[in-house]
Amino acid sequence: MNELFGTLSDGTPVHRWTLERAGVRVRVLSYGGIVQSVEVPDRHGAVGNVVLGFADLEGYVRHPEPYLGALVGRYANRIAGGRFPLDGVTYALERNNEPNSLHGGERGFDKRVWEVTPVAHGVRLSRVSPHGEEGFPGRLEVSATYTLDEAGALRLAYEAVTDAPTVVNLTNHSYFDLGGTGDPGGHELRLAASRYTPVDADLIPAGGPAEVAGTRFDFREPRKVGGGYDHNFVLDGGVSAAVRTVAELYDPASGRLLTVATTEPGLQLYTGDHLGAPLAPGSGIALETQHFPDSPNRPDFPGTVLRPGEVYRSQTVYGFAAR
């Protein structure tokens, strides 16, 4: 179902698409590729929304920094100093998270209106990011296909091609609260990650990956999330051709279980400690599948360069159950 959700100040209409299958209902906006809501049943069959979102377009326009549910790009996460070298040229980006560039810059993919085309059990969002947008080189043709499968899992499939060398790192920035209480700190998290990337004061990776064993970053066995995390976890297995399950988030109170499967090598765990009004700090947990922060400046990290003739592909699947 497609309906008008609102109109931007320049007159551009924003539409909302509703996807329903296997007892799951997902609402997607053409603005920012935003996943506005995901409604799933708990262990007693009661249906509730498990992601943070605003009720109207004004909420997203007035409060963009949390990136609630947004399709983030061209480069998710941080690039140190808002600069990176590529083929002997240093590119300067918008430094919207001083001193760094964050999530594609001041007006990244999360603040653009996407063209939406219906597909079987979902929608395909597409846009062209022109050469120089937010400082990134190359004309990038991007698509993101959101579908619900026969089990009610939300499948996100990204593709991109370029006419000049560039860097690409796309993700979805949904914040989960499986109980709908506004306090998911008691959720239990498991991550298939034996290492993580320590960061400096500006949240840029410092040195190489470190072992999680014996630290508060060890989620290899399920335990309460708590707070204080905005870190990239190095997923076991690295980049994969097919999705594999890398995370489980469970709410003991409601019985809702979220599984995350991806082709990506990293996952950013952000416990929302810096969420501000009208949201409460810690009211949602983001599990951002991605390549590592600052990879364009780190040749030792999995590469994020896309060249003409290549196709960027990435997939993530959010599965829902109750027990």
Looking from the CA of 249 toward its CB, the CA atoms found within 13 Å total 25
Cβ-proximal residues to 25 (8 Å cutoff; 6+ apart), any chain = 18, 19, 37, 38, 39, 47
Residue in 187, 231, 288, 291 annotated catalytic: 288
Which residues are paired to 145 by β-bridges?
A: 124, 157
Residue in 173, 187, 231, 291 annotated catalytic: 173
141: left (phi over 0), alpha (psi -120 to 50) or beta: beta
The answer to whether 21 is annotated as binding is no
- Listed in order, strand segments (DSSP E) in 1-68 are 2-7, 13-21, 24-29, 35-41, 47-49
The answer to whether 10 is annotated as binding is no
The answer to whether 230 is annotated as binding is yes
The answer to whether 177 is annotated as binding is no
Determine the residue type at 110: D
The answer to whether 78 is annotated as binding is yes
Identify whether 173 is a catalytic site residue.
yes
Separation of alpha carbons 205 and 298, rounded Å:
9
DSSP assigned state of 100: B
Question: 73 with 126: CB under 8 angstroms?
Answer: no
Question: 276 with 285: CB under 8 angstroms?
Answer: no
The answer to whether 173 is annotated as binding is yes
Identify whether 20 is a catalytic site residue.
no
Task: Write out the binding residues for beta-D-galactose.
Answer: 77-78, 173-175, 230
- Indicate which residues carry an active-site annotation: 173, 288
